[in-house]
């Protein structure tokens, strides 16, 4: 019987393992050594298969796999006792990050607390909100000047000195772990800053590092920039047009999907893979629990495609996942892929055959549907789009959110828009106009981001509160409008907390922080209006949350109550099943969450300025509902109906 090359490599990797087995037992002790070897047995075929697809032509896969496994062993051996304990706990409870009490928060370290030491002094604020997962925005040393909010990394081995040191990071993760808060940090895989030592070595002609990036002598030729750009789409058409940049030093072109100072790595080079796995191990061993893998759709390039979601990009993630499972089984990978749902679910491992890949992925579609429903006062598009989705595979989950540090791209699928009688292009244009406040009757105060002159598409910047109408209402001093805006924020987040996924609160949303009007004053930010919604934390506003009837108190307490309710019910776990239920009232989004450890939970959401009635006959339930949490504190249940206030929501247990 002849073996496929993959099988042959797995076999010889195993043969070389008598040696490895001894080494593992010596390095880790008998119990940990056996655990490592058992994990290796579980991941090695995934690893070898992926490496074959990626590097079978270019490298000796067996040797490469052996080197990577040794690096994983090294990481296991050096992780420290506290992290070894965490790994063990999470091996026993592998869905720890999907539990009902995992509520997330995301902030820039400097904007939230000055630096990493400062962060240690502000953990109480997070604790009060019920936070058990903290995403710290990019914190490795970026290039000087413009650095895309830290997404242009000049050194993966150093923390941004303005924020602290690797030792400070380890102190933050240790302090967070004491409070059962998991720490997430960014890992930018697709590109480095042009100031990174790899890029600088490449620029000075070092052949090893020239192979880390993609250089072109000119724009022409069958595989030159012009040929690629025929099908690539632009991410930043406004301030960084095209996907290649000219280098005056060497008079050649380099691949730059994002800004000209962010050089795309060439992942078809196995040395890039090895180097990045080293970076992962280092971060994991500072106690980082979750790695947010930035811009993963772009990792593999192919002529004649849009350069996103290539099968090899998935293989890279599968190989990295296999190695992380081996080295630090308690560490979770989160995919940042802002792509359509059909392209997105595969990042959670859902291929024809399930292959472990990322554990979490951002639910961009839910976010867009929430804002769309808010603008139109109509939930039919959301119902249509959300009910036909493929669920996340077992053991994985979504990250749900209303706002993040990026703009909102109006990703409404043509098919969904048409199914509810909307013109897709017109609806996307309406949403951009509405949220930029260009539509009469709009409550929103955002601004356009990256208007694409060719397609006419526009995206939107703005904080949750300003987009939800709080800024307008406060300016007008209209108490009724202030209440409406606060309800919109609460109701949006009620979905974020309950739809199915790890909810992420974007810093400031819990206090209704408005747009940062001074965003353009910082020179390195002036070209990028996403800084409109990246304010500094307002600690006076935090103080006002203790003062009755302030905006901050009303907002913060609403978030707290959502958290408390979520923690009380397994049906609100991130991995409980979600079913969207179409109902006759167009203003309502209705969904049911089911988990074997509790009764089904019905969520009712009213996207209208007026009170609405829900008919129990419309719902898949057999009797009266039991109130769990809601805007008004009760269901107003009478004569087989439930009453929802304007912009209100209700959660109820169903018999």
Question: What are the residue numbers of the active site?
Answer: 294, 336
Sort strands 502-506 and 103-107 into parallel, antiparallel or unpaired: parallel
**Residues 163-192, mask of contacts with ligand OTU (x by CB under 6 A):** -------------------------x----
3-state secondary structure at position 452: coil
Q: Which residues pair with 362 in a beta bridge?
A: 399
Q: Is 148 in the site for ligand OTU (CB under 6 A)?
A: yes
Least gap, CB of 296 to ligand OTU (angstroms): 7
Q: Is 151 in the site for ligand OTU (CB under 6 A)?
A: yes
Select 239 or 354, whichever has its Cβ closest to ligand OTU: 239
DSSP state of 638: B
Choices 5-13, 294-302, 582-590, 597-605 (CB under 6 A): range interacting with ligand OTU: 294-302
Select 319 or 338, whichever has its Cβ closest to ligand OTU: 338
Least gap, CB of 259 to ligand OTU (angstroms): 8
| Cα–Cα distance, 262 to 242 (Å, whole number) | 13
**Residues 534-573, mask of contacts with ligand OTU (x by CB under 6 A):** ----------------------------------------
Length of the chain: 655
Select 149 or 346, whichever has its Cβ closest to ligand OTU: 149
* Closest by Cα among 72, 68, 24 to 324: 72
Cα dist from 603 to 162, 483, 616, 630, whole Å: 44, 21, 12, 9
Q: How many residues make contact with ligand OTU (CB under 6 A)?
A: 15
**Residues 367-406, mask of contacts with ligand OTU (x by CB under 6 A):** --------------------------------------xx
* Closest by Cα among 389, 399, 232, 357 to 302: 232
Q: Contacts with ligand OTU in 307-346 (CB under 6 A)?
A: 336-339
Select 76 or 463, whichever has its Cβ closest to ligand OTU: 463
| Cα–Cα distance, 651 to 649 (Å, whole number) | 7
Q: Is 527 in the site for ligand OTU (CB under 6 A)?
A: no
Least gap, CB of 506 to ligand OTU (angstroms): 12
Q: Is 258 in the site for ligand OTU (CB under 6 A)?
A: yes
Q: How many CA atoms lie within 13 A of 348 on its CB side?
A: 22
Beta-strand runs (E) in 340-396: 360-362
Least gap, CB of 148 to ligand OTU (angstroms): 5
Sheet with 588-595, side-by-side order of all strands: 577-580, 588-595, 598-606, 649-653, 626-630
Q: How many CA atoms lie within 13 A of 10 on its CB side?
A: 16
Residue with tokens 């209440």: 483
Select 135 or 643, whichever has its Cβ closest to ligand OTU: 135
Cα dist from 128 to 97, 279, 563, 564, whole Å: 19, 33, 10, 11
Select 76 or 364, whichever has its Cβ closest to ligand OTU: 364
Q: Is 235 in the site for ligand OTU (CB under 6 A)?
A: yes
Least gap, CB of 292 to ligand OTU (angstroms): 9
| Cα–Cα distance, 19 to 497 (Å, whole number) | 49
Q: Is 431 in the site for ligand OTU (CB under 6 A)?
A: no
* Helix axes 311-327 and 61-77, enclosed angle (nearest 10): 40
Question: Which residue in 62, 294, 363, 471 binds ligand OTU (CB under 6 A)?
Answer: 294
* Closest by Cα among 345, 339, 467, 335 to 403: 467
Residue with tokens 């839910």: 366
Least gap, CB of 404 to ligand OTU (angstroms): 7
Q: Is 264 in the site for ligand OTU (CB under 6 A)?
A: no
Select 188 or 489, whichever has its Cβ closest to ligand OTU: 188
Q: Is 146 in the site for ligand OTU (CB under 6 A)?
A: no
Select 55 or 112, whichever has its Cβ closest to ligand OTU: 112
Q: List residues binding ligand OTU (CB under 6 A).
A: 148-149, 151, 188, 235, 258, 294-295, 297, 336-339, 405-406
């Amino acid at each position: 019987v002849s073996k496929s090359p993959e099988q042959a490599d797995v076999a010889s990797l195993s043969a070389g393992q008598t040696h490895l087995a001894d080494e593992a037992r010596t390095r880790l002790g008998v119990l940990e050594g056996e655990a490592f070897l058992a994990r290796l047995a579980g991941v090695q075929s995934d690893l070898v298969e992926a490496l074959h697809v990626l590097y079978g032509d270019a490298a000796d896969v067996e040797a490469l796999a052996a080197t990577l496994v040794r690096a994983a062993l090294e990481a296991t051996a050096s992780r420290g006792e506290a992290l070894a304990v965490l790994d063990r706990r999470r091996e026993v409870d592998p869905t720890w990050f999907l539990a009902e009490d995992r509520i997330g928060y995301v902030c820039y370290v400097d904007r939230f607390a000055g630096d990493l030491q400062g962060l240690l002094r502000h953990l109480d604020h997070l604790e009060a909100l019920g936070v058990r997962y903290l995403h710290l925005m990019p914190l490795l040393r970026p290039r000087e000047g413009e650095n895309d909010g830290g997404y242009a990394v000049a050194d993966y081995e150093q923390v941004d000195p303005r924020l602290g040191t690797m030792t400070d990071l380890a102190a933050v993760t240790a302090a967070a772990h004491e409070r059962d808060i998991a720490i997430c940090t960014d890992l930018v895989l697709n590109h480095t800053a042009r100031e990174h030592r790899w890029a600088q070595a490449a620029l000075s002609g070092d052949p090893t590092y020239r192979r880390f990036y993609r250089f072109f002598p000119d724009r022409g030729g069958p595989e030159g920039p012009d040929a690629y750009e025929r099908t690539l789409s632009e991410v930043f058409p406004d301030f960084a047009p095209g996907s290649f940049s000219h280098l005056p030093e060497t008079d050649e072109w380099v691949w730059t999907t994002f800004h000209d100072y962010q050089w795309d790595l060439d992942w078809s080079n196995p040395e890039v893979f090895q180097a990045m796995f080293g970076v992962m191990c280092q971060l994991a061993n500072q106690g980082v629990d979750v790695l947010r893998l930035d811009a993963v759709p772009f990792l593999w390039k192919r002529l004649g495609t849009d350069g996103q979601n290539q099968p090899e990009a998935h293989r890279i993630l599968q190989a990295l996942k296999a190695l992380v499972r081996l080295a630090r089984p308690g560490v979770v990978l989160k995919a940042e892929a802002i792509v359509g749902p059909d392209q997105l679910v595969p990042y959670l491992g859902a291929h024809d055959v399930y292959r472990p890949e990322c554990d979490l992925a951002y639910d961009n579609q839910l976010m867009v549907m929430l804002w769309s429903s808010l603008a139109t006062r109509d939930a039919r598009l959301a119902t249509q789009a959300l009910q036909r989705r493929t669920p996340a595979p077992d053991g994985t989950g979504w990250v749900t959110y209303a706002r993040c540090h990026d703009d909102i791209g109006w990703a409404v699928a043509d098919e969904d828009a048409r199914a509810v009688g909307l013109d897709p292009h017109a609806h996307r244009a309406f949403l951009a106009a509405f949220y930029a406040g260009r539509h009469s009757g709009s409550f929103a105060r955002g601004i356009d981001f990256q208007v694409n002159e060719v397609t006419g598409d526009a995206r939107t910047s703005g904080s949750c509160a300003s987009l939800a109408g709080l800024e307008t209402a406060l300016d007008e001093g209209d108490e009724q409008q202030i209440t409406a805006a606060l309800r919109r924020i609460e109701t949006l987040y009620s979905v974020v907390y309950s739809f199915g996924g790890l909810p992420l609160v974007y810093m400031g949303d819990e206090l209704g922080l408005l747009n940062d009007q001074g965003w353009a004053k910082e020179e390195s930010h002036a070209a990028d209006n996403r800084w409109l919604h990246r304010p500094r934390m307002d600690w006076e506003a935090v103080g006002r949350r203790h003062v009755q009837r302030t905006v901050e108190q009303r907002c913060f307490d609403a978030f707290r109550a959502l958290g408390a309710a979520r923690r009380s019910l397994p049906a609100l776990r991130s991995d409980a099943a979600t079913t969207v239920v179409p109902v006759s009232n167009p203003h309502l989004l209705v969904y049911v969450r089911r988990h074997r450890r509790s009764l089904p939970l019905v969520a009712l959401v009213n996207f209208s300025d007026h009170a609405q009635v829900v008919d129990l006959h419309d719902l898949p339930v057999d009797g009266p509902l039991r109130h769990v949490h809601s805007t008004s504190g009760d269901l107003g249940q009478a004569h087989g109906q439930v009453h929802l206030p304007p912009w209100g929501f209700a959660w109820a247990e169903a018999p």
